[in-house]
Amino acid sequence: MIYFDNSATTLPYKEVVDTFAKVSIDYFGNPSSLHPIGKASEQLMEQARKRVAALLNVNTSEIVFTSGGTEGNNLAIKGAAYQHRSRGNHIITTGIEHSSSYEVCKYLEKEGFLVTYLTPDKNGCVSASDVRKALTDKTILVSVIHVNNELGSIQPVEEIGSLLAKYPKVLFHVDHVQGVTKVPINFQRANIDLCTISAHKFHGLPGNGVVIVRDNVKLVSLFSGGNQQAGYRAGTENVAGIVAMTKALRITLDEAEKGTDHLQQMSHWLEEELMKIDGVIINSPAERAPHILNFSIPGLKPEVVVQALAERDVYVSTKSACSSKKNAPSRILVAAGFEEKQANSAIRLSFSFSNTKEEASVFLEKLKEVVATMKKVVKIK
């Protein structure tokens, strides 16, 4: 099997699964319980919180455990919007956000908020200058995806953060789900107030994530209930998932020290080889995250290409997994200004540190077979 769909989800490390199983049995108590079994679970969870904070270089008190990227983006964006509505109702974001941010902003528009969707350039990027021009005295939040989940374009979050440092009443949220472990962020230098990550993007288990909430930032909680996690997220914590996620984050960050260069080399080699195939157009910018490569084959249906490759035990995707079943052009590519024929035929490759150049070579051969076969069918029709 060749799996090049790691931006959708990653294969959990065996050690992570083993940790989840062990903690589920040995630390099953509710962390809010006062008896020793509950206290043991709470202690283990707080150890994990300290470890995650150290790995991300933030304060322990700034870690809020969630169920993943969608909840995290909802908590950050809705929570900030409702908390600070009394001083303004304007939000700035981009047209190429993940659906878990984009749809939240669309929802908030129905709630009376004004949202500016910045248009990216041909490389799928916005600029600090774009943000500055959009700011008003009613702006309360800027929300930007760090690494775009389809194109791999990297937003200039440090430059945007430096700009927003001059506007202390404007909060800065970064969706770091695709960037974590692949494209590092210095949270302090970027002046980020809120940041989202998700475990299953770095070989943890689905259903676990983190929102970093700066100590001086206040949010309205999405859930009504108990006072868990400083009141930001009511509900019994998933201790086993939290501990397993912590292990996955540590292992993947260790892998990144040697694996990032490998991914960059493999991705750019694949780009060069793909360009040799008749009809292939590269959509991703040259300067991009090391693990994402997007291309189009206009005239061929991408979902058919994906299924044909899957029959050959090669797994890729058309766009974000959250949108892949929608029979429509990629919203991301359309927003970035791509022609409809490219947006209609986009295919995304996304890699993990365990993928090899040998796998990339096999993928190329299988893709050539599929393209040749499909073009014959198209010509017959």
Catalytic positions? 322
Closest by Cα among 331, 294, 320 to 178: 320
Q: Which of 202, 218, 95 is nearest to 210 (CA)?
A: 202
Answer whether 293's CB lies under 8 Å from 268's CB: no
In what side-by-side order are the strands of the sheet with 194-198? 63-66, 209-213, 194-198, 171-175, 139-145, 90-94, 114-118
Rounded CA-CA distance 352/255 in Å is 10
**Phi, psi dihedral angles at 311 (to 5 degrees):** -65, -20
Residue 344, Cβ density class (10 Å: 0-12 exposed, 13-18 middle, ≥19 buried): buried
In this structure, are residues 334 and 324 in contact, taking their beta carbons and an 8 Å threshold? no
Is there a contact between 353 and 365 (Cβ–Cβ < 8 Å)?
A: no
Cβ contacts of 79 within 8 Å, gap of 6 or more: 219, 220, 221, 222, 232
In which residue are the tokens 């409809």 written? Answer: 340
d(CA 252, CA 248): 6
Name the strands in the sheet holding 281-282, side by side, starting at the edge strand that comes first in the sequence.
281-282, 292-296, 346-350
Count of Cβ atoms closer than 10 Å to residue 322 Cβ: 15
- What is the C-alpha to C-alpha distance for residues 283 and 252, in angstroms, rounded to an integer? 27
- First-to-last alpha carbon distance for the chain, in angstroms, is 32
